[in-house]
């Protein structure tokens, strides 16, 4: 009995959910994670503070932060959107195989050379190509260089000579991850043939179309892989993944020679862009907090991000930073009639690069404004106070519940905060004269999660008395305590 009474007393006590959240520049939303076990309670803010990040910047530059704080990751989600106004004009030229070619290895060489020569200038790599592999090769146990040192005699009848046996792929294909850049075996040995496979590689959003299937079957691609011809349609292999090259292994071992019946048919290969609008997966740009104050660090990180986005789409984008002018400039593909590229990024990153609170950047504006990274920390309080007094009061609302008790805003009001003399916002002591608004947890949470993410939003009033979401050009931190009570408990 005593255990039960003790448990009931403990459980009936108010619960507290402390929080501290970073709000990036241009953002007004944040979430607080509340244990699902508190779902039967009513919650209110017993304290709530908004602090402009001027103070955080000063603490970092003065090296007053804990070392762990300096290592905090700042994460930006970046993406790219490619629009092909005339997608039929992106890839040019149609490959035709000379009927004098009788070896499958020669088919690979001819195809690769043709599409390297017809690679669009705005692409990193050719649109399609073949390479080969050996099923005895294990990438987890060895490298191609080590493997070839062992296998060269079996493949070529001589010791490995990189001047002869390496860089067999076209130049633009050599940097693609996992490709095999070694020469196809020159000795036609049955033991070699049984262990090797051709592989077909295709660029993102690209289809490779074959006029006949005989050459593919000779290279080891099965009828199930090739598919059946429907009418006069060509045999198609398509990379419909959301970025990067796709590789297809031939299921069977190849022949060294193309059968005579297949040589009667002319092999033609065409490339086509699959969709007019291509939006691949987003990538994450991660920086440590200690590195976000200098432009050079952003320039280094952004150049790497642009390279990653280029590899994701196989189309070139880049970024330059001019130390003299302190300006960032994006570099897009030169021919907008063929390809129009837009970089998508969070508004706080765009603001940090000098482009304002926008969420995308394209050819309409490639260069940002000057970004001074020499911070004057002697004016921290002055800037925070000016920002706070100019903004005025800020309303904190619960986005998970609608209400008609707040004029001009459909969310439920949770509290109102005001700036003090140093620009830090808090709940006014006068608000303690009134019962605070309470909320219950939203009931649409996932069953597999231990916490419920409650969404909140910050609003300000413009000079014409119109409510608007908070959109400071600098970031901020919100912190405080969300307190929970049982329905029968008094506030």
pLDDT of residue 447: 56
DSSP 90-140: TS---EE--TT--BHHHHHHHHHHHHHHT--TTBSS-SEEEEEEETT--TT
Which one has a higher pLDDT value, 64 or 340?
340
How confident is the model over 374-385, as pLDDT tens digits?
888 889 999 999
Segment 389-395 shows an average pLDDT of: 96
DSSP label at residue 434: S
Which pLDDT value is given to residue 444?
66
Q: 406 with 285, same domain?
A: no
- Tell me the pLDDT tens digit for each residue of 198-242: 999 999 999 999 999 999 999 999 999 999 887 788 999 999 999
> Does 403 map to a domain?
yes
- Find all residues with CB under 8 Å of 301, minimum gap 6, and list them: 285, 287, 291
| Same domain assignment for residues 213 and 137 | yes
- Whether 306 has a pLDDT exceeding 70, the answer reads yes
Q: Reading across the β-sheet that carries 235-239, which strands appear in turn?
A: 95-96, 268-273, 206-210, 235-239
**Least confident among 203-207, 254-258, 314-318, 334-338:** 334-338
**In-domain check, residue 305:** yes
Number of domain units in the chain: 3
Give φ, ψ of 374 to 5 degrees.
Answer: -100, 95
DSSP classification of residue 443: S
Distance between CA atoms of 111 and 96, rounded to whole angstroms?
Answer: 9
Q: Which of 241, 274, 307 is the last residue of a domain?
A: 274
In this structure, the answer to whether residues 144 and 219 fall within a common structural domain is yes
Check whether 111 has a pLDDT greater than 90: yes
Q: Is the pLDDT of residue 7 over 70?
A: no
pLDDT for 432 equals 74
Query: Are residue 267 and residue 134 in the same domain, yes or no?
Result: yes
Angle at CA 222, nearest 5°, toward 218 and 225?
130
Confirm if 247 and 86 have CB atoms less than 8 A apart: no
- Residue 363 is predicted with a pLDDT of 93
Range of weakest confidence among 58-62, 104-108, 364-368: 58-62
**pLDDT, mean of residues 155-159:** 96
- The chain-wide mean pLDDT, for the chain, equals 92
- pTM for the structure as a whole: 0.82
Per-residue pLDDT at 10: 44
Considering 274, 299, 319, which residue would you say is the last residue of a domain? 274
Dump pLDDT digits (tens) for 350-363: 999 999 999 999 99
345 and 308 housed in the same domain? yes
**Claim to verify: residue 163 and residue 299 sit in the same structural domain:** no
pLDDT band at 406 (very low <50, low <70, confident <90, very high): confident
Q: Please, which pLDDT band fits residue 103 given cuts at 50, 70 and 90?
A: very high
The model's confidence at residue 487, banded by pLDDT at 50, 70 and 90, is: confident
pLDDT above 60 (res 6): no
432 or 252: which carries more pLDDT confidence? 252
Q: Are residues 249 and 297 in the same domain?
A: no
pLDDT at 12: 59
pLDDT-derived band at 491, boundaries 50, 70, 90: low
Whether 6 maps to a domain, the answer reads: no
Residue 169 lies in a domain: yes
Domain containing 150 equals 87-274
Cα torsion angle, 229, 235, 241, 242, sign: negative
Whether 186 has a pLDDT exceeding 50, the answer reads: yes
Q: Of 361, 390, 415, which marks where a domain is finished? A: 361
What is the SS3 assignment for 268? strand
Query: How many Å from the N-terminal Cα to the C-terminal Cα in the chain?
Result: 29
pLDDT value for 11? 46
Is residue 7 included in any domain, yes or no? no
Residue 416: strand pairing partners: 395
Q: Note the pLDDT tens digit of each residue in 37-95.
A: 888 899 999 999 999 999 999 998 888 888 888 899 999 999 999 999 999 999 999 99
Angle 250-251-256 from CA coordinates, rounded to 5° = 60
Same domain, 95 and 228: yes
- Tokens at residue 10, please? 């403990």
Q: Residue 2: its pLDDT value, please?
A: 44
236 plus 95 within the same structural domain: yes
348 and 464 fall within a common domain: no
What is the per-residue pLDDT across 411-466, written as a single tens digit (0 to 9) for each? 899 999 999 999 999 999 888 778 899 999 887 655 567 889 999 999 999 999 99
Q: Are residues 261 and 241 in the same domain?
A: yes
Q: Which residues contact 359 (CB under 8 A, 6 or more apart)?
A: 344, 345, 346, 347, 350
What pLDDT does residue 144 have? Answer: 95
Radius of gyration of the chain (CA): 31
267 pLDDT exceeds 70?
yes
Residue carrying structure tokens 């106070």: 385
Name the more confident of 122 and 7: 122
Give the mean model confidence (pLDDT) for residues 18-29: 94
Looking up residue 447, the CATH number of its domain turns out to be 2.60.120
Residue 394 lies in a domain: yes
Give me the numbers of helices (H) and strands (E) for the chain, helices first please.
13, 23
Residue 8 lies in a domain: no
* Cα angle for residues 402, 407, 409 (degrees, 5° grid): 45
Residues 79, 100 within the same domain: no
Q: Cα–Cα distance between 275 and 278 in angstroms, integer?
A: 6
Give a yes or no: residue 36 inside a domain: yes
């Amino acid at each position: 009995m005593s255990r039960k009474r003790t448990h009931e007393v403990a459980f009936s006590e108010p619960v507290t959910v402390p929080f501290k959240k970073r709000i990036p520049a241009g953002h007004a939303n944040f979430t607080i994670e509340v244990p699902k076990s508190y779902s039967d309670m009513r919650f209110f803010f017993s304290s709530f503070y908004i602090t402009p990040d001027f103070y955080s910047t000063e603490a970092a530059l003065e090296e007053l932060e804990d070392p762990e704080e300096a290592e905090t990751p700042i994460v930006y989600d970046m993406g790219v959107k490619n629009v092909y106004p005339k997608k039929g004009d992106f890839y040019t030229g149609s490959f035709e195989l000379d009927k004098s070619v009788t070896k499958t290895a020669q088919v690979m060489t001819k195809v690769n050379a043709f599409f390297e020569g017809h690679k669009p200038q705005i692409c990193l790599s050719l649109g399609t190509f073949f390479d080969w592999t050996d099923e005895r090769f294990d990438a987890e146990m060895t490298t191609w260089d080590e493997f070839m040192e062992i296998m060269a005699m079996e493949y070529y009848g001589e010791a490995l000579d990189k001047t002869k046996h390496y860089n067999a792929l076209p130049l633009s294909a050599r940097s693609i991850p996992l490709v095999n850049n070694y020469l196809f075996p020159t000795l036609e040995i049955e033991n070699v043939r049984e262990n090797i496979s051709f592989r077909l590689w295709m660029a993102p959003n690209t289809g490779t179309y074959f006029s006949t299937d005989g050459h593919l079957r000779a290279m080891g691609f099965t009828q199930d892989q090739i598919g059946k011809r429907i009418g006069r349609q060509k045999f198609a292999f398509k990379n419909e993944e959301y970025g990067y090259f796709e590789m297809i292994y031939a299921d069977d071992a190849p022949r060294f020679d193309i059968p005579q019946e297949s040589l009667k048919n002319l092999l033609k290969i065409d490339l086509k862009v699959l969709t007019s609008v291509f939006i691949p997966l987003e990538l994450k740009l991660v920086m440590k907090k200690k590195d976000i104050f200098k432009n050079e660090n952003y320039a280094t990180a952004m150049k790497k991000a642009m390279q990653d986005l280029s590899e994701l789409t196989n189309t070139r984008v880049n970024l330059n930073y001019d130390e003299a002018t302190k300006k960032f400039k994006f570099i897009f593909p030169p021919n907008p009639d063929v390809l129009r590229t837009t970089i998508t990024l969070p508004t706080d990153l765009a603001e940090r690069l000098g482009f304002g609170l926008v969420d995308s950047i394209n050819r309409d504006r490639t260069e940002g404004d000057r970004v001074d990274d020499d911070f004057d920390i002697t004016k921290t309080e002055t800037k925070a106070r000016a920002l706070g007094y100019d903004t005025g009061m800020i309303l904190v609302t619960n986005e998970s519940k609608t209400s008609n008790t707040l004029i001009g805003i459909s969310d439920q009001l949770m509290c109102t905060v005001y700036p003090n003399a140093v620009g830090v916002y808090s709940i006014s002591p006068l608000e303690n004269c009134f019962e605070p608004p309470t909320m219950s947890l939203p009931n649409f949470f996932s069953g597999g999660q231990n916490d419920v993410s409650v969404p909140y939003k910050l609003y300000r009033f413009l000079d014409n008395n119109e409510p608007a979401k908070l959109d400071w050009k600098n970031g901020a931190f919100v912190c405080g305590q969300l307190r929970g009570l049982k329905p029968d408990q008094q506030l």
